[in-house]
Chains A and B, each alone.
Chain A
Amino acid sequence: MKKFIAVIPLLLASFVASAAPQGSILVKTVAEQEQTVTAADGTRHTVLAPAKAVLPGHAVVYTVTFENVGHEAARDVVVTNPVPEHTNYQSGSAFGPGTELLFSADGGRSFAPPDALEVRGADGSVRAAGPEDYTHIRFVLKNALTPGAVAFARYRTIVK
């Protein structure tokens, strides 16, 4: 028994160490899918639930929750998400209250609103970037994240 008691705090410590990063902001990403459920009164609702059937063409909804767990406000908070490999960003799906939305089509080197994004083709020609060209999605908080405040950002991708 004593051995177990000795081990458990170690495990907890290692979990916390890997889970709670440096600084005073906690961030968590959840991948879910929309599912239709029927309530007791027969009405149907779409809810987010753990991913169940991930097939080509299916949507996956990513929700990033970030929280200021420190005692000072965090300024200039920027949340950057690579569009996961094997998926395309679904146009118009990104949503983050109190944020400005920017995208990258060059692997995260530069960010711009959708109408200002361009990509260069293999032949050197430049064209407007489409959602399938996006490599990163960025949410820029307009206001400081005060101590204890929680914010979230969400976007949807389609499995290629």
Chain B
Amino acid sequence: MLEGDCGQRAARAGGVPPRVGTGHGLLLAALALAGAAPSLAVGTAAGTVIRSAAEVTGVIGTQTVSVHSNAPSLVVDQLIDVAVGAMQATLPVQPADTSRSLAFRVVNGGNAPETLRLQLTTAVPGNGFDALAHAPALYLGTDGAATLTGNDPPYAPGGNDPVLAPGAGLLVFAVVDVPGGVADGAQGKVELAARVLQASGAPGTVVPGSGGGGGEAIIGLTGGAARADADLLVSGVDVTLLKSATVVDPDGGHVAQSGARIDYDIAVQVSGRNGVHGLVVSDAIPAATRYVPASLQLDGIALSDAADADAGAFLPTPAQIQVSLGDQPAGATHHVRFAVLIN
């Protein structure tokens, strides 16, 4: 904005041509920079006064004269701009996951401090499923850690709207649950929106007199509001355990009576998209039975009862068998077998 550009006296002869060369379009260029590169230095602060006065010296007759011009002063206007980005484009989740957090980064791309209003949306058009937002659903990453910590305060719109210095960024964490029963491969977007409270609207809109230091506020390319989304991808860990039992009583029959032996077979089936990591199958020894020592098998191969190098173990307290299958690809099938005696 031009301020107090009162020249000393208009030149009598109109010697100043009104046109100059290129240079228009710089407004858009500057706005594009501010919007597209949120971490850039945002430049001169709004309200800064820029002054310039020329000095003319010359020799008239024998006298050297020195004259200063007026000093027109410009006030740097306020650029209103905000950017939002997801720190992780896709977060693998499983059905019925709870308290999964997604990190977003919100940046003030303008040249004045701005107060931002944040909003989380989980019902995004096109979603395969909608995540369930916690209440509160957003946390402000004020302690600088890259992940949500207990120090990060919950966000309350209108209560602790973050105020960001020019160029400053803030991590914002969204906390959501994944509904049960969502299909493997389903995607659900979660969207964080940030809006500059002072003004938002069409890019280039001038908000007269609202800039710092008497300047104007001008809405940047993002419109003073921005949003970004992150995908929750149900990444298919699906393990099916099918347990069957065969009873052999001391008389050679199949009556579940004292002294009868029960042989269990647990069929393990891994499906889904990505297999499973660190799969452990455990099964409690039923009440009123006792484990038959050295009966544990994996895929027909005996496993020792001790918790040792092999995959299996019998653990007495509480009585259970445990078989570590480790990483298993989708489609893997295994059989765990063991036996008990009815007391």
Q: Which residues of A contact B (CB under 8 A)?
A: 19-32, 34-36, 45-48, 50-67, 70, 72-87, 90, 141, 145, 148, 150-154, 156, 158-160
A-B contact count (CB 8 A): 210
* Interface-centre pick from A23, A56, A81, A153 (highest chain B CB count, 10 A): A56
Do A31 and B65 have beta carbons less than 8 Å apart? no
Do B9 and A55 have beta carbons less than 8 Å apart? no
B residues within 8 A CB of A72? 60-61
| Band of interface residues on B | 35 or more
Stretch at the interface among B12-20, B87-95, B144-152: B12-20
Do B13 and A58 have beta carbons less than 8 Å apart? no
A160 to B74, CA, bound (A): 13
Q: How far is the CB of A98 from chain B (nearest CB, A)?
A: 12
B50's contact among A54, A63, A78, by CB below 8 Å, is which? A54
Do A29 and B58 have beta carbons less than 8 Å apart? no
Q: How far is the CB of A160 from chain B (nearest CB, A)?
A: 5
Do A54 and B74 have beta carbons less than 8 Å apart? yes
Do A25 and B65 have beta carbons less than 8 Å apart? yes
A residues within 8 A CB of B57? 76-78, 80
Do A67 and B111 have beta carbons less than 8 Å apart? no
Q: How far is the CB of B34 from chain A (nearest CB, A)?
A: 8
Q: Which residues of B contact A (CB under 8 A)?
A: 1-2, 5, 7-13, 15-16, 18-27, 29-31, 33-34, 42-44, 48, 50-61, 63, 65-72, 74-77, 79, 111, 206, 215-216, 218
A residues within 8 A CB of B216? 53
B-side interface mostly: loop
Q: How far is the CB of A55 from chain B (nearest CB, A)?
A: 5
A156 to B214, CA, bound (A): 24
* Interface-centre pick from B21, B23, B33 (highest chain A CB count, 10 A): B23
B residues within 8 A CB of A80? 54-57
* Complex: chain A residue closest to B52, CB-CB: A84
A residues within 8 A CB of B27? 53, 55, 58
A residues within 8 A CB of B15? 65, 150-152
Known: A20-B9, A34-B20, A159-B43. 9 other contacts (CB 8 A): A28-B11, A46-B22, A48-B19, A53-B27, A56-B43, A56-B79, A72-B60, A78-B56, A156-B20
Do B59 and A76 have beta carbons less than 8 Å apart? yes
A residues within 8 A CB of B206? 52-53
What are 9 A-to-B residue pairs whose CB atoms are below 8 Å? A23-B65, A31-B72, A35-B24, A50-B5, A52-B2, A55-B111, A56-B44, A59-B23, A86-B76
